[in-house]
Amino acid sequence: MPDYPVMAVVGHPNKGKSSVVAALTQNDQVQISPLSGTTRVAQHFTLKLDNRTVFELVDTPGFQRAGKCLAWLNAQELAADQRPARVAEFVEAFSGSGQFVDEVELLTPIIRGAGIIYVVDGSLPYSPEYETEMEILRWTGRPRLALINPIGGDRYVAQWQQALNQYFSLVRLFDPLHASFDQHLQLLRTFGELDAHQGQGFAQAIEQLERYRQLKLQQAARILVENLYRLLTYQQSSNRLEQAAQAQLPGLLSDEITRFNQHLNRMEREGQQQLEALFLYHRLESDIGRLEVHQSELMDESQWTLWGLEKNQLVLVSAGAGAAIGLLADVGLGGASLLTGAISGGVLGGLSGWFGLDWLKQQLPPWLQFSAEKHLLGPVKDPNFAFVILGRALSHARAMLSRSHADRERLTIREDGLNRMRSLELKTQVRLLKQCRQLVKQGPQGQAAAQLRDWVYRQLTA
Amino acid sequence: MDIWDKSLLLILLRRHLESERTVDWQTLHKRDRSWALAQPEQSAWRLLHGWLQQWGGSRVGSSTLFVYGAYVAALVFGFALMAGLLAFQPFQRINLLWFLSLAVLLPFAWWLLALFFTTAQVPLPLHTLIEHRLPPGSFPAALRPLLKQTVIALGQQLSLLFSIGMLIAFLLYLLMTDLAFGWSSTLDLGGGVIHQITSTLAWPWRTLWPAAVPSLELIEQTHYFRAAPLTAEQPALFGQWWRFLLMCLLIYVLLPRLITTAVARIRLNRMLGRVRDNDALISGLWQRLTTGLIDQEMEAVDQREAVDAVSETESLTRRYGQIVCWGLWPDELIGPLREQLAGEGADAVWIELDSGTSADEVQASLAELPDEPLLLLCKGWEPPTGELADLCQLLGQQRSRLFLWPVPLSGMDEARQSRLIQSWQPFMRQIPDRFHLVSGRVPDGVVHA
C-alpha cells in the first residue's frame, strides 16, 4: 500500500467522474465524453510535489453489472468483517476472465486501499437501483465520500442527500464545471477528514496548492502589467509613409493603421496565451472582441534623429555646449561677468540648435550613418486606452481563473471590462490613470509598475 | 559575479525566455525544476547563469574581459592626461589656470553633464551607443531601463578610474620630480582675482587643512610672464601649490565621482534585484527554479472511443403485444405510463423486470406468451448498462420484433435530453439487431414528478 492517499472516483456510468478528476487535478487533458461508458480502464492521476506523490485519484469505469456483482457477493452468508475479503475474492475470481470487466477495474484500486469518492448526478432522480452499487462499496469497508454533481441542475439534490446519508459518512455537493479553486481545496480537506491516517498528506497538499496558486497569481499580475506596458508604448515606424507622395498618404495611412491594430491584437493575445499557459489551459478559445484604435487616437509624427538623438535632445546638447564655452569665458574673467558668458552661451547654443538643425538636416551627406528620418504611428494617446486594456485583460483573466479544467466549452468573456473599470471609485480611477502614465515613463521595473501589480493581484484574488 | 555580468545575464536571459513566452508553464516548470534540483547549492545569480549556459548562453562572463580592459584603459587615460599636463614641458612652469581648467574644471563639468543625463529623465541615445554592440536579435524593450542604469553605472565607474589614474600620476610626479606651478595670463587678472577664485575653491577644506589654501603672497610670488627672465630667488615657492591642487583633485574630481559611482552601483544593484524578482519572464524562471513542482501525472491508457453512431429511430405506437419495464421506477412515474400503454383498450401484457431478476425468471415469464412485438421501456435519463445489454441478448433469443424505448424525463431541457439519449445510439450496436430504437416524448397525460 502506498504511503500517500489514494482515492478512487467511482459511480454509475456518465455521472461526471472524469469531470471531477479533471477539476481536482486541474488537468484539462482528462478525456471527458458526453457519451456513457467511454472510461473502460481505471486511470491513475497523481499529484506530485517535486516527484513525491502527494495524492492519487483513480478515474474508474462505471458499474455495469452491479446487481449480478452483489448477487455473487451475497452467494455466501458472511459476517460483516469478512465482506472486504469477499470483494477481494470477487476481483481475483473475475480478473482477466472477460466477465465483470468494469467492476473488476473499479474495485481493484479500492481493495488495494484506495478511499472511495462516489459520484452521482443531482439533476436526475434517485433510484433504488443505486443502492446495489452503494451496498457493494459498503462491503469494501473503505472510507467513503459521496459527491453530488449537479451537472444539469440541482432539482433532486435533497432526494439524493437523504439516500446517500445512509451509506456515506460524508456527502458533499460539488460542481466540477463551476467550482472555484477554494471549493477544490475544501473538497481536498474533506478527503482528509474522511481518512484520519491520510489527513496529514492532504493538509500538506492543500498548503502546497495554496502557495502554488498564490505564486501563479503574482506571476499573472506581472504578465498583465508588462503586457499593459507593451501595448501602451507600442510605436510603429514606417519609412513607407515618409517616402510616399502626398497624394498616396491617405491610402497608405489606412493600411498602416490596420497593421497597427493587427499588431496590438497580436500582442494582447500573446499576453492572454501567456496567462493560459501559466494556468495550464491548453485548448482555450475565447470569444473576446478585437481591440481597435482609430487614427484620431494615435500619436502620428515624423521623427528625425542624428546619432540616436532626437531634435529636442540635440538642442539640449547644443545649449549645454554653448553654456560650457560661456562658462570658460566667465572663468577667464575671474567670475567678474557674473555667469553672463554661460547664460548667453547656453541661449545662443540652444537657438542655433533649434534653427540650425533643419538646415543641417539638408546638408548632411548620405554616408552619415546615424541620421534617420521615419514616420511614427503610436503610441495611443487616449488616456482611456490604458483602462480599456486593463479592463479587457482582467475580464479575460477572471473568466479563465473561474473556469474549471473540466469545462470543454469556449471561454466566454464578459465584454464589460471597461464598465467595471469605470465603476471603480473616482479616486481609484485617477490613481490608476496616473500609475499608467508613470508606467509608460518608468518602465515595468518602476514604482508605478509595482503599484499596478499589487492592484491587479488584489483584483485577481478578490 | 559582478554587476555588469548580472546585467548582461538578465538581458540574455530575457532574450532567451521571449521564445518560451506561451509555452505551457507545467512543461517549463518540470524542465527547470528538475535541472535546479540537480545543481549544487549556489547563489541565485550563479544558478541563473548556469541555467542560461545550458542553452548556450556562454556570452555571460565574456563581459568581464571587456569591463576590466575598459577599467585599465580608463586608468591609463587618466594617468596619461595628468602626465601630459605635468610633463609636457618638463623644464617650464606649469600654468595653474591651464591645469585647473583641464584637470579640475573639465572633469567637473563632465560630471555635471553626466548627472544631468542621469537624473533629468533624458533618454540616453542607447540604441546608437550600446544596443548595436549587443549580440544580434531584438533588444528586450522591457529591460531598457536596466540597460540605461547599467550604462550610467559603468560610465561613472570608468570616470572614477580615470580620476584615480589622474591622481596616481599627480602623486607620482610630486614624488619623483620637482613640479613648479605658477600662473600666467595674457589678461591683466591680478593676484586678487586669482586669490578670490582659489579661496572659493578651497572653501571646503580651509578649516581642515589651512596649508592647502593658497595665500595672496603665494599667488603674487608665483605669477610669471613668458617674456620675463626666470627668477630663481625662491624656487620652493613654486612647489607649494601641490597641496591646493591635490585637494582640488580630491574634492572636485575624485569625491563627486566616488559618490555618484556608489549611488549608481547601489541603484543598479537594486534594479537587478527588481528585474530578477519582477520581470514577467525572468521572475517566472526564478519561480520555476525555486518552487517545488506540483505536477499532475496522468497514466497513459487506451480508453474506449466515443462512437457517434446514429441508429434509425421509430415512433411510439400502440401495436405492442408485450411491454417489459426494466428497472425500479417510482410509482408516480410508471403508473400513468402503464395506464397509457397497457391500460384499458390496449391489449399489451405488462412485465416488470430489474437487475435482480435472473435469466431463468425472464425466460419463464416470456415462454408462455406468443411472439408478438415487444417494447422494452428503460429510463432514458440513465445511461444503458451491461445488465441491460444482457437482458437485450436474452430477449433477442425469445422474440423476433423488439423495440427499445429510452423514456425521456419530462421537465428536462431539450439539449440535455438529446445528449442523454445520444448514449443510447452506440448501445444499439451492442445488442441484437432485432431491436429498434424508439424515440418519442412521453404520451400526454403522463406527468413525471
Which pLDDT band, with edges at 50, 70 and 90, does B57 fall under?
Answer: low
| Environment class of B369 (CB within 10 Å of its CB; exposed 0-12, middle 13-18, buried 19+) | middle
Distance between B127 CA and the closest CA of chain A, angstroms: 7
ipTM of the complex: 0.70
Tell me what the mean pLDDT of segment B87-115 comes to.
Answer: 81
Percent of chain A with pLDDT over 70: 81
Closest CA to A9 of A96, A83, A100, A119: A119
- φ/ψ of A235, rounded to 5, equals -125, 140
Cβ-proximal residues to A423 (8 Å cutoff; 6+ apart), any chain = none
β-partners of residue A302 are A375
β-partners of residue A44 are A58
Cβ-proximal residues to B430 (8 Å cutoff; 6+ apart), any chain = B389, B392
Three-class HEC string of A220-269: HHHHHHHHHHHHHHCCEEEHHHHHCCHHHHHHHHHHHHHHHHHHHHHHHH
Q: Which residues of A touch B354 (CB under 8 A)?
A: 67, 129
Domain spans of chain B, in order of start: 3-290, 313-438
Cβ-proximal residues to A358 (8 Å cutoff; 6+ apart), any chain = none
3-state secondary structure of B300: coil
Strand order in the sheet with A236-238: A236-238, A371-380, A298-306, A309-310
Summarised one tens digit per residue, pLDDT across range B202-214 is: 898 888 888 888 8
* Residue recorded with cell 610633463: B87
Task: Just give the CATH number of B313-438.
Answer: 3.40.50.11460
- CA atoms of A129 and B335, how far apart (whole Å): 18
Between positions 157 and 196 of A, the ones with CB within 8 A of B are none
Q: What structural domains does chain A harbor?
A: 6-197 (3.40.50.300), 234-308+370-429 (no CATH)
Summarised one tens digit per residue, pLDDT across range A364-379 is: 766 655 555 666 777 8
Which pLDDT band, with edges at 50, 70 and 90, does B446 fall under?
Answer: very low
Q: Please indicate whether, in this complex, the C-beta atoms of A30 and B416 are within 8 angstroms of each other.
A: no
Q: Please indicate whether, in this complex, the C-beta atoms of B141 and A49 are within 8 angstroms of each other.
A: no
Q: How much is the pLDDT for A219?
A: 92
- CA atoms of B346 and A419, how far apart (whole Å): 64
Report yes or no: A13 at the B interface, CB cutoff 8 Å: yes
Distance between A248 CA and the closest CA of chain B, angstroms: 31
Q: How much is the pLDDT for A409?
A: 67
Q: For residue B129, what is the nearest residue in chain A, using CA coordinates?
A: A308
User: Using CA atoms in the order A223, A227, A229, A230, what is the torsion angle rounded to 10 degrees?
Assistant: 140
| Mutation for testing the B interface, residue in A4, A57, A129, A159 having most B CBs under 10 Å | A129
Summarised one tens digit per residue, pLDDT across range B138-190 is: 567 778 788 888 888 988 999 999 999 999 999 998 888 877 788 887 777 77
- CA atoms of B236 and B173, how far apart (whole Å): 16
User: Using CA atoms in the order B207, B211, B217, B221, what is the torsion angle rounded to 10 degrees?
Assistant: -150
Distance between B176 CA and the closest CA of chain A, angstroms: 32
- If you average pLDDT over every residue of chain B, what do you get? 81
Q: What is the CA radius of gyration of chain B?
A: 48
Does the pLDDT at position A430 exceed 60? yes
Does the pLDDT at position A166 exceed 60? yes
pTM of the full predicted structure? Answer: 0.70
Half-sphere exposure of A107 (CA within 13 A, CB side): 33
Does the pLDDT at position B449 exceed 50? no
* Candidates A102, A219, A222; nearest CB to B386: A102
| Mutation for testing the A interface, residue in B278, B290, B379, B393 having most A CBs under 10 Å | B278
Q: For residue B326, what is the nearest residue in chain A, using CA coordinates?
A: A129
* Residue recorded with cell 435472473: B358
Report yes or no: A451 at the B interface, CB cutoff 8 Å: no
Q: Which residues of B touch A208 (CB under 8 A)?
A: 292, 294
- Cα-based distances in Å from A87 to A5, A410, B405: 21, 43, 35
Report yes or no: A337 at the B interface, CB cutoff 8 Å: no
Q: How much is the pLDDT for A247?
A: 64
- CA atoms of A36 and A85, how far apart (whole Å): 30
Q: Per this entry, what is the length of chain A?
A: 462
Which pLDDT band, with edges at 50, 70 and 90, does B448 fall under?
Answer: very low
Closest CA to A129 of A177, A65, A79, A215: A65
Q: Please indicate whether, in this complex, the C-beta atoms of B296 and A233 are within 8 angstroms of each other.
A: no
Cell numbers placing B8: 548582461
- CA atoms of A163 and A49, how far apart (whole Å): 37
Cell numbers placing A65: 453489472
Kindly write down the DSSP assignment for every residue of B336-353, as one continuous string. Answer: HHHHHHHSTT--PEEEEE
Between positions 392 and 411 of A, the ones with CB within 8 A of B are none
β-partners of residue B326 are B353
Q: How much is the pLDDT for A33?
A: 59
* Candidates A50, A273, A445; nearest CB to B22: A273
Q: Please indicate whether, in this complex, the C-beta atoms of A334 and B193 are within 8 angstroms of each other.
A: yes
Look up residue B146 and give its amino acid.
L
- CA atoms of B360 and B78, how far apart (whole Å): 110
Q: How much is the pLDDT for A148?
A: 92
* Plot region of A186 (φ>0 → left; ψ -120 to 50 → alpha; else → beta): alpha
Distance between A299 CA and the closest CA of chain B, angstroms: 19
Q: Which residues of B touch A125 (CB under 8 A)?
A: 330, 381, 409, 449
| Mutation for testing the A interface, residue in B299, B353, B431, B447 having most A CBs under 10 Å | B299
Q: Please indicate whether, in this complex, the C-beta atoms of B385 and A64 are within 8 angstroms of each other.
A: yes
- CA atoms of A223 and A271, how far apart (whole Å): 7
Does the pLDDT at position A141 exceed 80? yes
Q: Per this entry, what is the length of chain B?
A: 449
Q: Please indicate whether, in this complex, the C-beta atoms of B22 and A67 are within 8 angstroms of each other.
A: no
Q: Which residues of B touch A223 (CB under 8 A)?
A: 280
* Candidates A46, A273, A307; nearest CB to B297: A46
Q: Please indicate whether, in this complex, the C-beta atoms of B280 and A222 are within 8 angstroms of each other.
A: yes
* Residue recorded with cell 514577467: B280
Tell me what the mean pLDDT of segment A62-70 comes to.
Answer: 90
